[in-house]
Chains A and B, each alone.
Chain A
Amino acid sequence: MKANGAEIVIKTLISHGVTDIFGYPGGCVLNIYDEIYKAGESLNHILTCHEQGASHVADGYARATGKTGVVIATSGPGATNLVTGIASAYLDSTPLVAITGNVDSKLIGKDSFQEVDIAGITMPVTKHNYIVKDVNELEETLCEAFRIARSGRKGPVLIDIPKDVQAASCEFHGGLPLPLYDNPVPDDTEIEKITELVKSSERPFIYVGGGVVSAEAEEILAEFAELIDAPAGFSMMGLSAMDYKNPRKLGMTGMHGVYAASVVQSEADLIIGVGVRFSDRATGNIGKYTENAKVIHIDIDRAEIGKNVAPDLSAVGEIKETLTRIVAKLKAENFKQTLTSWNERVTELVTKQQKLFDGSNRNPGDFTPRKIIKAVREYTEDNTPVATDVGQHQMWTAMNYDFGAPRTFITSGGLGTMGFGLGAAMGAAVGTGKRAVLITGDGGFHMNMNELATAVTYKIPVVIVIINNGVLGLVRQWQRQFYGERFSNTTLHRKTDYVKLADAFGAVGFLVKNEAELRNALDKAFEVNDGPVVIDCHIDMDEKVLPMIPPGGSIHDLIIK
């Protein structure tokens, strides 16, 4: 069958099972948008307010569903507006295909109107990217892009298509998906060494990362933890990989990790990192981090082994398969461990944490972030996607929200992108067909709140909870802690009326100043099924995220007050 480039793009997307795409039109993608028009019902396109928004919507969609997100933008500013979104997806290993138009291939290199070298710009933040200069290569390139985005450690791929290539025709073969590339497979001796080390450990600790969520390995992870009788701590990306009802789940570790998880980790004699990259935010001082413990590192990306932490043993492979083999090996040996004194110590620390951080030292009337998050949780279901922006509200969510199902925590971990949340929550809602919740800050919400208009237009149900402290709270907290309380440019002094703002966008808004008002607003918000609701929660500007391990520090430097 003959087809032109734009038809090839859209038909290949459809052949890949893509049902929803996000983007913004312009001169250099007119041909593609014409094909979107012709595709009619078979492809749902959501027009955002800004290409950055579209990139976060596609990313949130991918995180919540496990599918590949697709975003389209025009050349020049359209393409550059995608960069933050692509980089956010790259740092958190989200499968994303970004399609940009470019000027005619004969105009490339001449600083033509709206020409940028988007392939050059995105090279360090994509798994791979392409400029397609010949329509005969377009179909294969698109299929290869999907294959690369999904194979091994997932990530974004960008395809830049000059306008004349979209218009040119060639033979089209249906654009069918290619099989994914094979993953590395650890050999039996590696698995055996790992099981031996695990068996010899008296104080094992499993450290779970986003790789477990991505591999959908939560069940085998829980089985593994059970078998070896180990507690589990989590990177922010890994938090939804275990149900909060599982008593082994201690919560997040690292700079803003919860107390018990951080202390337990520091007392372990073996850290089993699964689908993690031992980032600086998670480990603090690397030397101290591994001072008392051996390390096993299991990951799909060979380059992660030894990058930040030199492990004693490692296995490079698909995580679900690798864990399944380890569990099978242990079971074949009838291994079942009970580590009484270690788990008693864990329980002791969890109890201590509850005493220190359950808020009982606060006045009963204080409207604390913890209360807000606990109240929201009473309204959500286990599988409700919860997105955040970046800042204190993100850490409060990570520490206090009880995640009950995988893929429910949608947050920018690696890049820490303020402005990520609203788009990502919308993408999660579109992808899952469920109401999503966004917990955001007054700073981050102001970055991309224009997308409220998109949520209204497309009737996307998102409950937006703004934890409004009037400040760039997390930065201010650092200024207090490390810069002698010189609060340079972190007090917002804004007069934004979020109730009027919501109204102006065609949404509903509430202002709440205490828990009773919040519950009232939540009652109403969770009744709305056809659009966003904004709840502006006024809290004190001096609420802190605690505990905290300062950058480069260790458990000995833990700040509790």
Chain B
Amino acid sequence: MKNNENFTMSVVLKNKFGTLMRVTSLFSKRGYNINTLHVAPLVENNEYSRIILTSNGDQNIKEQILRQLEKLVDVREAKII
């Protein structure tokens, strides 16, 4: 893969049953890697959780992951950190 790079992503999503699976299922469905994953409720609002995950791919894949994550109904924000 050209311009393959590692990146870290923050995804804020509703702290509901099944939402973590929606995120991981999206990665497997689209063929993206998850290298590490950490999830915890937001300190300021436990109705939401933040996933910090690391993945890899080129610029295009990075963009695609963000765009696809943003389409998930339970996702409030997805960004590269």
Interface residues of A (CB under 8 A from B): 119-120, 123-124, 127-128, 131, 148, 301-303, 305-307, 310
In the complex, B36 has a CB within 8 A of chain A: no
Q: How far is the CA of A305 from the CA of B66 in the complex (A)?
A: 12
Smallest CB separation, A446 vs chain B (Å): 31
Among A127, A128, A307, point to the contact of B64 (Cβ < 8 A): A307
Asked whether, in the complex, the Cβ of A128 is within 8 Å of the Cβ of B67, the reply is no
Residues of chain A contacted by B22 (CB below 8 angstroms): 123
Asked whether, in the complex, the Cβ of A303 is within 8 Å of the Cβ of B70, the reply is yes
In the complex, B5 has a CB within 8 A of chain A: no
- Known contacts A123-B25, A124-B29; A303/B73 CB under 8 A: no
Asked whether, in the complex, the Cβ of B71 is within 8 Å of the Cβ of A301, the reply is yes
Q: How far is the CA of A120 from the CA of B17 in the complex (A)?
A: 11
Residues of chain B contacted by A123 (CB below 8 angstroms): 18, 21-22, 25
CB interface residues, B 1-40, toward A, < 8 Å = 17-18, 21-22, 25-26, 29
Q: How far is the CA of A119 from the CA of B19 in the complex (A)?
A: 11
Q: How far is the CA of A305 from the CA of B64 in the complex (A)?
A: 9
A-B interface, 6 closest residue pairs, ranked by CB to CB distance from nearest:
A303-B67, A128-B73, A124-B29, A303-B68, A123-B25, A302-B67
Asked whether, in the complex, the Cβ of B64 is within 8 Å of the Cβ of A303, the reply is yes
Residues of chain B contacted by A302 (CB below 8 angstroms): 67, 70
Q: How far is the CA of A123 from the CA of B29 in the complex (A)?
A: 10
In the complex, B77 has a CB within 8 A of chain A: no
Smallest CB separation, A305 vs chain B (Å): 8
- Known contacts A124-B29, A127-B73, A310-B60; A119/B67 CB under 8 A: no
* A120 closest partner in B (C-beta): B21
Q: How far is the CA of A148 from the CA of B71 in the complex (A)?
A: 11
Among B25, B67, B70, B74, point to the contact of A124 (Cβ < 8 A): B25
Residues of chain A contacted by B67 (CB below 8 angstroms): 302-303, 305, 307
Q: How far is the CA of A155 from the CA of B33 in the complex (A)?
A: 26
* A305 closest partner in B (C-beta): B67
Q: How far is the CA of A288 from the CA of B77 in the complex (A)?
A: 36
Q: How far is the CA of A120 from the CA of B22 in the complex (A)?
A: 9
Smallest CB separation, B22 vs chain A (Å): 6
Smallest CB separation, B54 vs chain A (Å): 21
Residues of chain A contacted by B47 (CB below 8 angstroms): none
Asked whether, in the complex, the Cβ of B60 is within 8 Å of the Cβ of A119, the reply is no
Asked whether, in the complex, the Cβ of A306 is within 8 Å of the Cβ of B25, the reply is no
* B18 closest partner in A (C-beta): A119
* A144 closest partner in B (C-beta): B73
Residues of chain A contacted by B72 (CB below 8 angstroms): 128
Smallest CB separation, B23 vs chain A (Å): 11
Residues of chain A contacted by B63 (CB below 8 angstroms): 306
Smallest CB separation, B57 vs chain A (Å): 13
Q: How far is the CA of A127 from the CA of B68 in the complex (A)?
A: 11
Smallest CB separation, A522 vs chain B (Å): 44
Chain B 55-81 near chain A by CB (<8 Å), digits 1 or 0: 000001001100110111110000000
Asked whether, in the complex, the Cβ of A131 is within 8 Å of the Cβ of B17, the reply is yes
Residues of chain A contacted by B25 (CB below 8 angstroms): 123-124
Asked whether, in the complex, the Cβ of A303 is within 8 Å of the Cβ of B71, the reply is yes
Residues of chain A contacted by B21 (CB below 8 angstroms): 120, 123
